[in-house]
Amino acid sequence: MVHLVGSLRKELADSLSTCSVLVVGAGGIGCELLKNLVLTGFKNIEVIDLDTIDVSNLNRQFLFQKKHVGKSKAQVAKESALQFCPSANITAYHDSIMNPDYNVEYFRKFILVMNALDNRAARNHVNRMCLAADIPLIESGTAGYLGQVTVIKKGMTECYECQPKPTQKTFPGCTIRNTPSEPIHCIVWAKYLFNQLFGEEDADQEVSPDTADPELAWNPEDTAARATASEKDGDIKRISTKEWARSTGYDPVKLFNKLFKDDIMYLLTMDKLWKKRKAPTPLDWQHLENSACPQEDSPVSGLKDQQVLGLWGYCQLFQHSVETLRSQIQEKGESAELVWDKDDPPAMDFVTAAANLRMHIFSMNMKSRFDVKSMAGNIIPAIATTNAVIAGLIVLEGLKILSGEIESCRSIFLNKCPNLRKKLLVPCILDPPSANCYVCASKPEVTVKLNVHKTVVLTLQDRILKERFGMVAPDVQIEDGKGTILISSEEGETEANNNKFLSDFGIRNGSRLQVDDFLQDYTLLVNVLHTEELERDVEFEVVGEAPDKAPPPQSKPEEVNSITNGNKDSSQPSTSSKEKKNMEKQERENESHSLFIYFISLIWDLF
């Protein structure tokens, strides 16, 4: 005879009070999820989030109020949830899930893990921890009106990394430095400029004209020669942008004239670039100041930030923001470095102004601060209702798992409009694991194309193993019969190797590297394929994938392509390495789920 406790079978209701579950993330999905778990009868819940509360969260993260701004999300979420169920046992961690304290043993405490994350690195990591601990993981994501939930179970379903996910869009250096054609190129340039002037200088974030642009030469040899020449006589390069700015006392007008007049005039001498493109028009501060007319303040019905200022308006904004940032940096001292933050008004003003001035120079329509902020800050629009639906679905899948009915679990997609079969919510059968998955296959293996004479060990560690392959603390051994240790996860042990080339260690075409991440209980065999022919600005290629390229402009977020990296405008690594480390703010990468799965749901639903 069926015995119900509320809506649930008694056996299920009883198991809820004894099991433990982990919620990773206490933001949009996390708040809704915590509420649902507690009301459904889950008694033992742990929640972790490294973020603090921001006012822009309050439109949907309903466990937080204005008075909580600045506090820990996990902590406040716990306190608010306890309000409506004081008997629940909730533990909150204001911490990163990638902290080694949360090892496989930690994960094994739980019967179920639920992600409520907003970035791929953490998702990859939790994916591996759950595989290692053999615990079911419910993965989810939302963007605007769209959302998705899926279940990951080792050996039974695809893991999070079985399907290649589209990587973050990057732009070639010459596009950013010489020939921008879209507002996003100008915005990326402006963010680089911020770092060069006020933040951590990064060799990959040059803003000056690129004399080694391949377009400039008829012959490839010329390009190489030009590059070497400019490095040698270094008229532009020898002195760093920051040093030069310091020498002028961060004089806004001098900065303006260098960036928006002199450098543009230099670009104009590279006439090959302008044969088929509209040439940029340099700006002159004095001239603009003289011809500026006082603008009448027309009554504004829109948001102040949505106004597009005139050219002189952005000149003034540039000047003011430079002066403000200058005093910020002077207050902090000699070697001070600022970290760009979209919510820091002068930093945002600076990027808005610099990007717009550049857009004007390159004949593009200028953009409001509101729009620039979206693109520069990788903002994904978000509302309460989408998160509410997805969080409800997460719990329902969780209950199936707890009832021992994991075969009835599904991937479920939330559309904006019903599909041809009238479905707004589309359940799909879960796919089995991919045999070639470089994470969950029994002996994961991958082949990487790179130049062993030009790739240094540090690049292998940071760009390839950590960024691309999602490891947190890799240990690398060369399979050379001697077991040579190339990289040790112990701090300091192999630091001396960082700037040496791979070839210095005898690594060549066909070499194999055994890479372990002990925290993730993950071993990956990396086959090295040596090549001298990689595309410009490309450091390595994973064989079996197309090289990272800037795809054509995507459609609006609500349409088909939207839930890829989340935001159509998510640009080149919009972060300095410091900003990445300083992962206190949300919206670091903003992607939700793979394009693949979404397309499949549109064409092929099973019910």
Any binding-site annotation on 85? no
Any binding-site annotation on 59? yes
- For other proteins, give the closer residue by CB, 67 or 232: 67
- For other proteins, give the closer residue by CB, 119 or 488: 119
Q: Least distance in Å: CB of 493 to other proteins?
A: 44
Task: Confirm whether 428 is a catalytic residue.
Answer: no
Dump strand ranges (E) for 134-212.
137-143, 146-152
How far is it, in rounded angstroms, from Cα 245 to Cα 197?
7
Kindly provide the b/e burial profile for residues 29-67, where b requires at least 16 CB atoms within 10 angstroms of the residue's own CB: bbbbbbbbbbebbbbbbbbbbbbbbbeebeebbbbbeee
Closest CA to 505 of 516, 521, 494: 494
Whole-number CA gyration radius for the chain: 26
- Beta-bridge mates of residue 52: 72
Q: How many CB atoms are closer than 10 A to CB 388? A: 21
- For other proteins, give the closer residue by CB, 366 or 473: 366
Any binding-site annotation on 404? no
Give yes or no for a contact between 75 and 120, defined as CB atoms under 8 angstroms apart: no
Give yes or no for a contact between 546 and 172, defined as CB atoms under 8 angstroms apart: no
Q: Which of 31, 130, 174, 315 is catalytic?
A: 174
Q: Least distance in Å: CB of 372 to other proteins?
A: 12
Q: Least distance in Å: CB of 5 to other proteins?
A: 7
Tokens linked to 79: 């306190």
Tokens linked to 551: 């795809």
Give yes or no for a contact between 497 and 415, defined as CB atoms under 8 angstroms apart: no
- Beta-bridge mates of residue 548: none
- For other proteins, give the closer residue by CB, 3 or 482: 3
Any binding-site annotation on 392? no
- For other proteins, give the closer residue by CB, 62 or 518: 62
Q: Least distance in Å: CB of 319 to other proteins?
A: 24
- For other proteins, give the closer residue by CB, 185 or 191: 185
How far is it, in rounded angstroms, from Cα 264 to Cα 372?
22
- Beta-bridge mates of residue 514: 477, 525
Which contiguous run of DSSP H or E holds residue 446? strand 445-450
Any binding-site annotation on 358? no
How far is it, in rounded angstroms, from Cα 52 to Cα 75?
9
Q: List the Cα angle 114/139/376 in 5-degree steps.
A: 110
Q: Least distance in Å: CB of 3 to other proteins?
A: 8
Q: Least distance in Å: CB of 131 to other proteins?
A: 24
Any binding-site annotation on 440? yes
Any binding-site annotation on 119? yes
Residues labelled catalytic: 174
Mark the binding-site residues, compressed into ranges: 25-30, 49, 57-60, 73, 96-97, 118-123, 159, 162, 437, 440
Mark the binding-site residues for ATP, compressed into ranges: 25-30, 49, 57-60, 73, 96-97, 118-123
